[in-house]
Structure 1
């Protein structure tokens, strides 16, 4: 038999291998135990080793959500991936960082139960309530911003102490006085029956109409440059309302007649004369008193509703001096024709065809006879 060197028994190899495994297992358990002890002892820390210890991504039911913090502390290593922390944390921990309730510096001191609430965050409630309050305030403030009724920009008329409510020209005077076209006197009177001179009428025309001048003003010999009505006279002449007299005179202190007022308004408004002048003028019982130069102008004034007669609409009284009330009524009607004012109803306004025509005395006698006999 050949002698061979004794070989190491197989049991020795197994024994050495088993000893290494035993040492490795002890070291692993010791390490895991140390890590678990250290992790449980530092509950306030942001370290989360559950992902390292649990092989499955499903969070363990035994781990409470209070062990996970939404925000890492400054001790977190830059190489740590956030995916290792989020799978083991509950859904509330993922949502909570959007609405922090405490500063970041205080998270390492405060308990985790106060840092991560499991219910809806409370700061959202005052935000929604403040938004509702703001919307309610805005909706309630709308009536204050937008008034329900628009205020009138026209001031009230002047309460003249000599124009009673039942005065025939009260409404004409009120409309013009409220717009500053006519003014009264310092004693709060209007003096409706006072005559109007040519200078005063020119001043009223200047305030009533904004007509562009079409003619050159005339330097009248009897109108000084510093006369109070010189600008108004120049405007009335250049706009075509008034004319002067021979020898470059205007006669500012001369009282203006009713026919002159109507002729001035028709000329300034450039109203055309109607074709049936005689038929229109037949509404006046005193049409024969109308001057020849003014026949077509008076017919145009009548056809356009500019004539206002008081007390009898059939009496024109063309050569009578115009009073302040009559001038106010005719100026009002001219502004209605221009579309500047709304018309008012008055029985003193003469309408073409609205007044019964004149009847001859013979025709009247025949009518009486027919009525008495029943014919």
Structure 2
């Protein structure tokens, strides 16, 4: 008995069915899609396929370790490659002698930030001396009172010694003998003359020791002036114990006392200087040299008669004032009279 072919090819179970054209096209399209995805993934520098999904999870550690596909090692390895690629992309080439930057992997021990402890600044205490403010006490300046010495009321107008007396009075050299009077024509005593010398030459140093005269009491008003006139060499006593302070003094004694006290030089020719005066022979011989020195220095008493000295006549207060004034001119302490 002959077996005839099976009229229905699909009825044989052992025979493979051929794929139709549509099926083959579908398979090719699927393979092409898979290949496209595969090569696209390789071109993305091994970045995770589900990086967007992972980042949306808020960087949760549990999801990053196991990943959306449950494979922890895949993402750890990819994180390493990603960090390394970023370092190669962003870090510029190292210059010579530039220290190499070391990238620490996430699996290494956590980096403890270094805390730099800055020591507090050293504050030095410097002691600055503090000056105590001085209390300034305002000084009340009292206007200096200038004492005006009244002019002597008993000096006649056009008196020959009036200018001498007025100038010496302003300098406090002359005494007021009471009531604003000087009594210019009154005889001057030795004590009064010593007082004028003391005031006129107060700046001269003492050259001799103090003399002690028995006729000058300790409480005598002019004792100190008498002692100084003797010390300066202007006057001498009649003896070591007698001065005679209240005795009138002759005119020639005024002139020779000034010549001795001022140490005036004696001119070479004494007789020539004294020969002008008619009464020179009335003067003691011992006094002639000093008289010539006084006259030669300009210490002269004016008189109505220009050729008379009147040496032994008692000197007046005006005579003493004129000679002391001329002595101060000689010393350069006062201006000469015109």
Category of TM-score, reference length = shorter chain: 0.5 to 0.7
Greater Rg by CA: 2
Aligned to 2:318, which of 325, 336, 359?
Answer: 325
Moved more, 195-204 or 283-292: 283-292
**Residues 77-88 of structure 1 correspond to what in structure 2 (within 5 A)?**
none
Match of 1:300 in 2: 293
Higher relative contact order (CA 8 A, sep 6+): 2
Secondary structure of 2:196 counterpart: helix
Task: Give the 5 Å matches for 1:215-230.
Answer: 215-230=208-223
Aligned twin of 2:41: none
Partner of 1:169: 161
Following superposition, the deviation at residue 293 of structure 1 comes to 1.1
- Retained in 1: the 8 A contact 2:205–2:232? yes
Partner of 2:89: none
Q: Please list the CA deviations of residues 136-182 of structure 1 after superposition, one character each: whole Å capped at 9, or x if unmatched.
A: xxxxxxxxxxxxxxxxx996653111113311111100110000000
Matched-pair contact (CA < 8 Å) for 1:154–1:179: no
Shift of 1:310: 2.2
Q: Deviations over 1:232-255 (max 9, x none)?
A: 111111111111113621111110
**Any conservation in 2 of the 1:220–1:249 contact (CA below 8 Å)?**
yes
Match of 1:258 in 2: 251
Structure 1 residues 314, 252: closer, same or farther in 2, change over 3 A?
same
Alignment: residue pair count: 201
TM-score of the pair, normalised by structure 1? 0.51
* Alpha carbons of structure 1 residues 294 and 155: separation in structure 2 relative to 1, 3 Å: farther
Q: Say yes or no: does 1:267 pair with 2:250.
A: no
Superposition deviation, residue 222 in structure 1: 0.9
**What residue number does 2:74 align with?**
none
Q: Does 1:186 align with 2:214?
A: no
Q: Distance in 2 between matches of 1:324 and 1:154?
A: 27
| Cα distance in 2 for residues equivalent to 1:154 and 1:293 | 47
Within the candidate set 302, 314, 327, 1:334 is matched to 327
The runs of 5 or more residues in structure 2 that have no matched partner are 1-24, 38-144
Question: Matches of 1:166 and 1:156 in 2, distance apart?
Answer: 23
Give TM-score scaled by structure 2 length.
0.56
Q: Secondary structure at the match of 2:33?
A: coil
Query: For residues 176 and 338 of structure 1, what CA distance do their matches in structure 2 show?
Result: 15
- 1:287 maps to 280
- Deviation of the 1:335 alpha carbon: 1.0
> 1:282 & 1:252 partners in 2: Cα distance?
33
Q: Deviations over 1:236-286 (max 9, x none)?
A: 111111111136211111100110111111111111111011111122232
Change (3 A) 1:154 1:169: farther
8 Å contact from structure 2 (residues 207, 231) kept in 1: yes
- Give runs of aligned pairs for residues 359-374 of structure 1, distance below 5 A: none
- What's the RMSD between the two structures over aligned residues? 2.1
* Equivalent residue, structure 1, for 2:135: none
Change (3 A) 1:227 1:170: same
Cα gap change, 1:285 to 1:188, in 2 (>3 Å):
same
Aligned to 2:199: 207
Q: Supply the distance in 2 between the matched residues of 1:154 and 1:302 (Cα, whole angstroms).
A: 38
**Aligned partners of 2:212 and 2:240 also within 8 Å:** no
Paired position in structure 1 for 2:8 = none
Matches within 5 A, 1:64-143: none
Aligned in 2, Cα 1:155/1:245: closer, same or farther, shift over 3 Å? same
Structure 1 stretch 157-166 or stretch 205-214: which is displaced more? Answer: 157-166
